[in-house]
Amino acid sequence: MKRIMGYSDQISVCPDDTIRFMVNCEAAGDYSARIVRVIHGDTNPDGPGYKEEAIETAVTGRYPARRQAIHAGSCAVVPDHAFLAALGSFTVQALVWPTTPAKGRQGLAGRWNGRTGAGFALGIDEGGGLALRLGDGRGGVAEVAAGKPMLAREWYFVAASYDAATGAVSLYQEPLVPYARTDTAVAISAPVALRLPANVQAPVVFAARHAGVAGKRTLFAEHFNGKIDRPRLANRVLSRLEMEQVRGDLIPVALQSSMLGVWNFSKCISSETIWDDSPNRLHGETFNLPARAMTGHNWTGEEMAWTHKPEQYGAIHFHDDDLHDAGWEVDFALKVPAGLKSGVYAAHVAIDDDEDFIPFVIRPPRGTASSKLLFVLPTASYLAYANEHMVTDAPLAELLTGQVSTMQPADMFLNEHREYGLSCYDSHSDGSGVCYTTRLRPIITMRPKYQSWLGGKGSGLWQMNADLHITDWLEAEKLGYDVITDEDVHAEGYTALAPYSVFVTSTHHEYWTKQMWDALDAFKKHGGRLVYTGANAWYWRIAYHPTRPGVMEVRRAEGGIRAWAAEPGEAYHSFSGEYGGLWRRNGLAPQRMAGSGFTAQGFDISSYYRRKPDSYDPRARFIFEGVGAEELIGDFGLIGGGAAGLELDRADRVLGTAPNALVLASSENHTGVYMVVLEEIYINSPGLCGGESDLVRADLVFYETPAGGAVFATSSIAWAGSLSHNNYNNNVARITGNVIRRFLDPAPF
């Protein structure tokens, strides 16, 4: 059973930096902690087995176990303010698009003190309709409810007013689109005996209800699923006509002094700020990263980019399972000692029969490089998949893998602990796609020893635990290397790559920001050599949060293999304003970067490559040194039993493969579980599986660049799983070694 897990505040550090570790331990007593350099994470007895190097640091020791909880669910909060203190009578209103009105109580907009129970809360009640709750702070609660459920995924105007003198409450629930024989509109007035206390001392909260404080943290309850657009708070009872007058962005002069807050979610979209257009400046902050740049109630479809017509993007989509930062207390910290070699490290924590690895990268001392060879850990792709729930949530998982899905104890924990947050392969509890992901939480999928259902028959390797096969092989070959992360490449651009002559990718370097793309492109233009030991890289365009490290966004715009699809009008990233979707649809297919791009996938067994005439070209002789003409390449391995598997790429001149590229070998004989990628399919037809379609293959590609550099692409995620076969003595390892050694030679191609 999973009992211990943690995360770190950073993912990439240099000597002298301090990295902090936060741990939740569900067992009693104390746990052990130590720092290790992770060499190999695959526990399969048919392979080299788990390997680490223990690192003696001040971290080594025992620490008291304690439980640290995660509070998921987003909302927006305006801190209490002197202008709010005098609030007696009020009107609160908004446009809302509930996605799960039937799920139970949900807060929409309120000023409620969770400690005293004083204040008001406009929300959705157990019946799925609008309700205004009033609390006197002495245990008395009054409620006026619409009594009719709202329809999911329909826009409503909702409002409530309260007259402090008479106790009169008015409530409006009005669908913007009427339907015949389905009347969900309600307008009621009712007196309540309860009177609100003079000052409830509470923040204004949207999309949840304030539930008190625990230590330094504010707690929220009754999280809302759905969109809120243009909430307003007035300091008196507005008539229905006046409510209508303040619904839009221009507040009539005569009503301006009545308005306490006129929130405009179409401003500051790339930040966590919610902006108050009123002179009171009751600005607030979102909590747990609800989705921004969402189409509002007035979106017309004429404009697809929120930057062009922000006023049509005044909605925030809140989810009860959004998460930004677990916010745990620090358990221990490491001041990175000088003299440690660059590599993949982890804080190893253990109690009873459970353990966790909290991985991070140590770079060479800042401004230096200790090798000409660079391995870039694909932390953006790790974040996209972080804590994915496909096996438990998606019935097609078993069809993709062609085998009964397997789960690890950690997967069971994740299934039952949704507060640990979702991946960009998941949908929220309301069915909407997850476009943000964060590393400020334990990520159980990003661990040595982790086995993934997606990793094919055999070791079950996906992402980090597959990528460690590459670093393990570099160690076995005694090839020195430095490690940095996607985040470093994004932040520092070409500067981070310039000291190196060879860039080695991970097995699946799928998610790239424009900054990362430009950095690698510049590296190649300066003669840098690229070894692409994987497949399906440079696929999704992403954006990092402009100010919150470790937070990433992906909008799954039209095209490509997608776990969900962005809603119409929501294909542009909120963090950057850039169009999301495939790099291929942004004019830069992966073939432009590495000569090869995504063509097919299947997750059962892998296959082998057969040499092609190009492999006998004198330009490619160095690659096949020591490999026989008739040898099948990679008909062995820990990932599906072959070097060509899981996701496959192919060369394609039309998509940007260099005209001088050699296709040295291609894989063949893939199973019927493999299918051509969606971006190749305009008219669907039979014949798109392995064994049927010529597009189901991996191409081994080599080409020289005009700057004297070169590119080598294996075009298969499974490649790395074959490197250690036969004690690292095999043709996959030989080819990879031949390429890297020649690429390290500065002689121009």
Partner 1 sequence: MYQITPDDRQYVEEFRKTPVGRHSPGLQRILNLFRGEAMAGKYVLVCTKPHREWMLGQFTGVRGEKIRMTNHSFTSLHEAEWYVFKQRWKRHTGEDLPD
Note the residues at the interface with partner 1 (CB under 8 A): 43-45, 391-393, 395-396, 398-399, 402-409, 412, 415-416, 418, 429, 449, 451, 457, 604-605, 669, 671-672, 691
3-state SS string for 496-556:
HHCCCCEEECCCCCCEECHHHHHHHHHHHHCCCEEEECCCCCCCEECEECCCCCCEEECCC
Q: How far is the CB of 143 from partner 1 (least distance, A)?
A: 29
Q: How far is the CB of 436 from Fe ion (least distance, A)?
A: 17
Q: 670 with 663: CB under 8 angstroms?
A: no
Please identify, using beta-carbon distances, which residue of 321 and 510 lies nearer to Fe ion.
510
Please identify, using beta-carbon distances, which residue of 101 and 550 lies nearer to partner 1.
101
Q: How far is the CB of 605 from partner 1 (least distance, A)?
A: 5
Q: 439 with 693: CB under 8 angstroms?
A: no
Contacts with Fe ion by CB under 5 A: the residue count is: 1
Contacting Fe ion within 485-524 (CB under 5 A): 510
Q: How far is the CB of 643 from partner 1 (least distance, A)?
A: 16
Residue 383 CB burial class (10 angstroms; 0-12, 13-18, ≥19)? buried
The Cβ of residue 342 has, within 10 Å, a number of other Cβ atoms equal to 24
Q: 584 with 655: CB under 8 angstroms?
A: yes
How far does Cα 173 stand from its chain's mean position?
35
Pick what 451 binds: Fe ion, partner 1, none; C-beta below 5 to 8 Å, kind-dependent. partner 1
Pick what 724 binds: partner 1, Fe ion, none; C-beta below 5 to 8 Å, kind-dependent. none
What is the distance between the alpha carbons of residues 158 and 155, in angstroms, rounded to a whole number?
A: 9
Q: How far is the CB of 561 from Fe ion (least distance, A)?
A: 8
Q: How far is the CB of 632 from partner 1 (least distance, A)?
A: 16
CA distances from 569 to 97, 535, 579, 605 (A): 16, 30, 11, 39
Q: How far is the CB of 148 from partner 1 (least distance, A)?
A: 27
What is the distance between the alpha carbons of residues 562 and 484, in angstroms, rounded to a whole number?
A: 28
Pick what 57 binds: Fe ion, partner 1, none; C-beta below 5 to 8 Å, kind-dependent. none
Q: 291 with 265: CB under 8 angstroms?
A: no
Please identify, using beta-carbon distances, which residue of 319 and 592 lies nearer to partner 1.
319
Give strand pairing partners of 318.
226
Pick what 510 binds: Fe ion, partner 1, none; C-beta below 5 to 8 Å, kind-dependent. Fe ion
The Cβ of residue 42 has, within 10 Å, a number of other Cβ atoms equal to 30
Q: How far is the CB of 684 from Fe ion (least distance, A)?
A: 21
User: What does residue 78 show for φ and ψ, rounded to 5 degrees?
Assistant: -110, 115
Q: Where are the alpha helices (DSSP H) in 631-730?
A: 725-728
Q: How far is the CB of 119 from partner 1 (least distance, A)?
A: 31
Please identify, using beta-carbon distances, which residue of 103 and 509 lies nearer to Fe ion.
509
Q: How far is the CB of 322 from partner 1 (least distance, A)?
A: 16
Pick what 44 binds: Fe ion, partner 1, none; C-beta below 5 to 8 Å, kind-dependent. partner 1
Q: How far is the CB of 65 from partner 1 (least distance, A)?
A: 24
What is the distance between the alpha carbons of residues 568 and 305, in angstroms, rounded to a whole number?
A: 10
What is the distance between the alpha carbons of residues 111 and 80, in angstroms, rounded to a whole number?
A: 9
Please identify, using beta-carbon distances, which residue of 365 and 402 lies nearer to partner 1.
402
How far does Cα 166 stand from its chain's mean position?
50
Please identify, using beta-carbon distances, which residue of 258 and 423 lies nearer to partner 1.
423
Of 209, 184, 197, nearest in space to 123 by CA: 209
Pick what 484 binds: partner 1, Fe ion, none; C-beta below 5 to 8 Å, kind-dependent. none
User: What does residue 85 show for φ and ψ, rounded to 5 degrees?
Assistant: -60, -35
Please identify, using beta-carbon distances, which residue of 278 and 506 lies nearer to Fe ion.
506
Angle of CA points 332, 338, 339, to nearest 5°: 125
Pick what 403 binds: partner 1, Fe ion, none; C-beta below 5 to 8 Å, kind-dependent. partner 1
3-state SS string for 161-193:
EECCCCCEEEEEEEECCCECCECCCEEEEEECC
What is the distance between the alpha carbons of residues 395 and 598, in angstroms, rounded to a whole number?
A: 24
Pick what 324 binds: partner 1, Fe ion, none; C-beta below 5 to 8 Å, kind-dependent. none
Pick what 146 binds: partner 1, Fe ion, none; C-beta below 5 to 8 Å, kind-dependent. none
Q: How far is the CB of 390 from Fe ion (least distance, A)?
A: 11
Q: What is the DSSP letter of 522?
A: H
Angle of CA points 738, 739, 743, to nearest 5°: 120
The Cβ of residue 404 has, within 10 Å, a number of other Cβ atoms equal to 8
Answer yes or no whether residue 649 interacts with Fe ion by CB under 5 A. no
Q: How far is the CB of 243 from Fe ion (least distance, A)?
A: 48
Contacting Fe ion within 277-336 (CB under 5 A): none
Please identify, using beta-carbon distances, which residue of 44 and 89 lies nearer to partner 1.
44
Lay out the site mask for Fe ion across 347-386 (x = CB under 5 A, - = otherwise): ----------------------------------------
Please identify, using beta-carbon distances, which residue of 296 and 721 lies nearer to Fe ion.
721
What is the distance between the alpha carbons of residues 12 and 489, in angstroms, rounded to a whole number?
A: 11
Pick what 428 binds: partner 1, Fe ion, none; C-beta below 5 to 8 Å, kind-dependent. none
Q: What is the DSSP letter of 239?
A: P
Sign of CA dihedral 514, 520, 526, 527: negative
What is the distance between the alpha carbons of residues 637 and 459, in angstroms, rounded to a whole number?
A: 9
The Cβ of residue 29 has, within 10 Å, a number of other Cβ atoms equal to 10
Please identify, using beta-carbon distances, which residue of 418 and 490 lies nearer to partner 1.
418
Structure tokens at 307: 């930057």
Pick what 429 binds: Fe ion, partner 1, none; C-beta below 5 to 8 Å, kind-dependent. partner 1
Pick what 43 binds: Fe ion, partner 1, none; C-beta below 5 to 8 Å, kind-dependent. partner 1
Pick what 370 binds: partner 1, Fe ion, none; C-beta below 5 to 8 Å, kind-dependent. none
Question: What's the N-to-C CA distance of the chain in angstroms?
Answer: 54
Structure tokens at 3: 């009992």
Q: 552 with 383: CB under 8 angstroms?
A: yes
Pick what 45 binds: Fe ion, partner 1, none; C-beta below 5 to 8 Å, kind-dependent. partner 1
Task: State which residue has the least CB distance to Fe ion.
Answer: 510
Please identify, using beta-carbon distances, which residue of 241 and 396 lies nearer to partner 1.
396
DSSP letters for 122-168:
EEE-TTSSEEEEEEESSS-EEEEE--SPPPTT--EEEEEEE-TTT-E
Q: How far is the CB of 644 from partner 1 (least distance, A)?
A: 14
Please identify, using beta-carbon distances, which residue of 69 and 214 lies nearer to partner 1.
69
Q: How far is the CB of 330 from partner 1 (least distance, A)?
A: 29
Q: What is the DSSP letter of 292?
A: E
Pick what 505 binds: partner 1, Fe ion, none; C-beta below 5 to 8 Å, kind-dependent. none
| Residues 6 or more apart in contact with residue 633 via CB below 8 angstroms | 608, 609, 610, 611, 627, 643, 665, 700, 731, 732, 735
Using alpha carbons only, how large is the chain's radius of gyration in Å?
28
What is the distance between the alpha carbons of residues 713 and 14, in angstroms, rounded to a whole number?
A: 30
Pick what 311 binds: Fe ion, partner 1, none; C-beta below 5 to 8 Å, kind-dependent. none
Please identify, using beta-carbon distances, which residue of 418 and 469 lies nearer to partner 1.
418
Q: How far is the CB of 534 from Fe ion (least distance, A)?
A: 10
Please identify, using beta-carbon distances, which residue of 91 and 432 lies nearer to partner 1.
432
Please identify, using beta-carbon distances, which residue of 349 and 424 lies nearer to Fe ion.
424
Please identify, using beta-carbon distances, which residue of 351 and 563 lies nearer to Fe ion.
563
Residues that bind Fe ion (CB under 5 A): 510
